Chain A
Amino acid sequence: MSRVKSLRKGKRRQGTSIVTFILMLLVAGVSIYPLIWVILQSFKTETQFLGSIWSLPTSLNFDNYIRAFKEANLLVYLKNTIINTVATLVVDLVLVTCLGYAFSKLKMKFKKVLWYLILINMLIPTPIILLPMYLQVVDLGIQNTLAAIVFPYYQGFAPLGLILIKSYMDNIPDEIIESAKIDGCGTFRILISIMVPLVKPMLVTLAILGGMNAWNEYMWALVSISDTSKYTLSVGLAVIRDKIATIGYTPVFAALTVSAMVFVVIYLFAQKTFVRSITAGAVKG
């Protein structure tokens, strides 16, 4: 074992020539430069920016951020997005855990049919039910409420969430549940005090996937929210961008930086968890 290791270590860098390295640097540059450029512009004054788009900011001035938050409503959009995302996550995690437990561990007549009824959603493209769903929301009189955002987001997330959590629960041995039953635990007690702690890692994965979905979602928010004070970041950014003529470019860069950095920062702090989650999410093909 150790011999194999040392052998591999010795040969590890054999293949990467300096040409490959330089090419990779170029690719990495194309990959991150747009974001870096936007961040740099967000610290410049409007005159500096219009003077040259390549110059570096002379000081770390946060004026653009203050203007974006105050004059361009960024704070309102951010607050709405946080509320929507948190509420969606609560619904996502609670209901998907219930689903997973029912489908993985409980007796259920017509299980197959019910399973496909949830999964069929994956075949229905969002645009096809966009209009009827919008009419439904208007009919129910819940337009511009949290419910009109959270439930449709959950509806979109449920199939993937169910597949992931069910396969995770399938790996939990039935004996654990049987012995809890003998100890006198009821179905719901077992769910809360035994299953939930066991599936915690999967819940983190689901939170990342569901959180990204809810945070970034654009089409439904654009269609269903008519009250500008309820706009999310996605919808609001287009509004901010169209204000370039009045507030200038640089506050727009500040707003873009704030929106872009949220998941970049989370990623930098929890790289492994993040990568694991996205890889797990790819099973849905």
Chain B
Amino acid sequence: MNIKKKPSLWQELKESIPAYLLILPTFIILAVFLFVPFANAFRISLYKYKGYGELTKFVGLKNYINVLQDEQFYRAFGNTFKLIGCDLIFSITIGFILAYVLFKGIRMKRFFNTALFIPYLISMVVIGCIWRIIYDPTIGPLNQVLEMIGLGNLAQPWLSQIGTALPSIIVTWIWRTIPFNMLICYANIMMLPKDQLEAAQMDGASQWKRLRYVIIPHMIPTFVTLAILTVTNDLRAFDLVWVMTQGGPGGASDVLTSYVYSNAFVSQKFGPATAASIIMMVAMIGITVILQIVKKAGGKNHE
């Protein structure tokens, strides 16, 4: 930082003491609750371990091989990506459309602002409980509505069928994530320079053209940010899945985290579960790095 004279390391350390004192508590907490557990995770993944006692049964990479040969792991992986894909396509698009309508102005705007945002204020666990009742085959509102409008033959036990469990969860998930995407899109549309929009208006650009050539290009960096947030968020999806189906029926709606959780805390297979979560982390870091590169490239195009 200082280019004048290079002070000795000792002196620099001495001058840093106040700063070190301030960050010390955080580093103690991180050491105990993050760094040590993180190192242990790698160790546990090489052992056969039931969650108590000493680590004695060293099995090498067997846990990793087991996980990589487990069909359920790939199923959970696939399900996680289905969730991410649907969320990226529907949640961000719908969120943007809603934000655009609010931006253009609408009667009762305050009402819409609040009403559309409410799902985000309710925790995933509460939402899971509510939607489990909504999907309930006997007292659930969904099937009753279907019967009322003459589509009674579509009524079904949504969460306890292999084919419908995951899609039902994804619908609920999107319902919950739209408000966040809407809010961020809205905040960013509002930052659009007014003169740009007005210039386009003066030039007689149609509404569609203004959207296509002024608003959407302005929003691209926002979309990239939202995509990154969506991916990192959805990779951690656990609450909703666990509350609604626990990954069932028969693992049909398992996502990565519920797969790890049930392996560890239901089946007591800590070794393979940890191995699976390490594989998951590698995948996550890979995806994050790719997304950051995409973001940088995207950002440059729009400078």
Give A residues with C-beta under 8 Å from B. Answer: 4, 8, 12-13, 15-16, 20-21, 24, 27-28, 30-32, 34-35, 37-38, 50, 53-54, 95, 98-99, 101-103, 106-109, 114, 117-118, 121-133, 135-136, 140, 151-152, 154-155, 158, 187-188, 191, 215-216, 218-219, 222-223, 233-234, 237-238, 241, 249, 252, 256, 259-260, 263-264, 267-268, 271, 275, 278-279, 282, 284-285
Is A188 touching B18 in the complex (CB atoms < 8 A)? yes
Of the candidates A132, A215, A249, A279, the one whose C-beta lies within 8 Å of that of B37 is: A132
A176 CB, min distance to chain B CBs, angstroms: 17
* Residues of chain A with a CB closer than 8 A to B130's CB: 34-35, 38, 256, 260
From B13, B129, B285, residue with most partner A Cβ within 10 Å: B129
A170 CB, min distance to chain B CBs, angstroms: 14
Kindly report which residue of chain B lies nearest to residue A30, judged by CB atoms. Answer: B175
* Residues of chain A with a CB closer than 8 A to B295's CB: 285
Is A34 touching B134 in the complex (CB atoms < 8 A)? yes
Is A279 touching B118 in the complex (CB atoms < 8 A)? no
- CA of A153 to CA of B284 in the docked complex: distance in angstroms? 21
Is A106 touching B18 in the complex (CB atoms < 8 A)? yes
* Residues of chain B with a CB closer than 8 A to A121's CB: 30, 34
Instruction: State whether A95 and B26 are in contact (beta carbons under 8 Å apart), knowing that A127-B260, A132-B274 are contacts in the complex.
Output: yes
* Residues of chain A with a CB closer than 8 A to B51's CB: 131, 135
A255 CB, min distance to chain B CBs, angstroms: 9
Is A98 touching B198 in the complex (CB atoms < 8 A)? no
Of the candidates B183, B228, B273, the one whose C-beta lies within 8 Å of that of A275 is: B183
B158 at interface, CB cutoff 8 A: no
A243 CB, min distance to chain B CBs, angstroms: 12
Kindly report which residue of chain B lies nearest to residue A100, judged by CB atoms. Answer: B22
* Residues of chain A with a CB closer than 8 A to B122's CB: 35, 260, 263-264
Of the candidates B106, B224, B239, B273, the one whose C-beta lies within 8 Å of that of A131 is: B273
Is B129 touching A241 in the complex (CB atoms < 8 A)? yes
- CA of A20 to CA of B207 in the docked complex: distance in angstroms? 14
B44 at interface, CB cutoff 8 A: yes
Give B residues with C-beta under 8 Å from A. Answer: 1, 9, 12-13, 15-16, 18-20, 22-23, 25-27, 29-30, 32-34, 36-38, 40-41, 44, 51, 98, 101, 104-107, 111-112, 114-126, 129-134, 139, 141, 144, 175, 178-180, 183-184, 187, 198, 207, 224-226, 228-229, 232, 235-236, 238-239, 242-243, 256-257, 260-261, 264-265, 270, 273-274, 277-278, 280-281, 284-285, 288, 295
Chain B binding surface, main DSSP class: helix
Is B41 touching A129 in the complex (CB atoms < 8 A)? yes
7 contacts between A and B (CB under 8 A): A24-B101, A27-B98, A128-B277, A129-B37, A131-B273, A216-B239, A260-B126
Kindly report which residue of chain A lies nearest to residue B188, judged by CB atoms. Answer: A279
Is A53 touching B285 in the complex (CB atoms < 8 A)? no
Is A128 touching B280 in the complex (CB atoms < 8 A)? yes
* Residues of chain B with a CB closer than 8 A to A252's CB: 129
B191 CB, min distance to chain A CBs, angstroms: 11
* Residues of chain B with a CB closer than 8 A to A102's CB: 18-20, 22-23
Number of A-B contacts (CB under 8 A): 260
Is A131 touching B274 in the complex (CB atoms < 8 A)? yes
B23 CB, min distance to chain A CBs, angstroms: 5
- CA of A136 to CA of B38 in the docked complex: distance in angstroms? 11
Is A118 touching B105 in the complex (CB atoms < 8 A)? no
Is B32 touching A20 in the complex (CB atoms < 8 A)? no
Is A32 touching B278 in the complex (CB atoms < 8 A)? no
Kindly report which residue of chain A lies nearest to residue B122, judged by CB atoms. Answer: A260
Of the candidates A16, A34, A118, A132, the one whose C-beta lies within 8 Å of that of B107 is: A16
Is A158 touching B123 in the complex (CB atoms < 8 A)? no
* Residues of chain B with a CB closer than 8 A to A106's CB: 16, 18-19, 22
Instruction: State whether A21 and B107 are in contact (beta carbons under 8 Å apart), knowing that A4-B198, A123-B284, A215-B123 are contacts in the complex.
Output: yes
* Residues of chain B with a CB closer than 8 A to A135's CB: 37, 40, 44, 51
- CA of A275 to CA of B187 in the docked complex: distance in angstroms? 9
Known: A21-B107, A285-B295. 12 other contacts (CB 8 A): A13-B105, A121-B30, A125-B284, A128-B277, A135-B40, A136-B32, A155-B29, A158-B30, A267-B117, A268-B114, A279-B184, A285-B224
* Residues of chain B with a CB closer than 8 A to A31's CB: 115-116, 118-119, 175, 178-179
* Residues of chain B with a CB closer than 8 A to A223's CB: 261, 265
* Residues of chain B with a CB closer than 8 A to A187's CB: 18
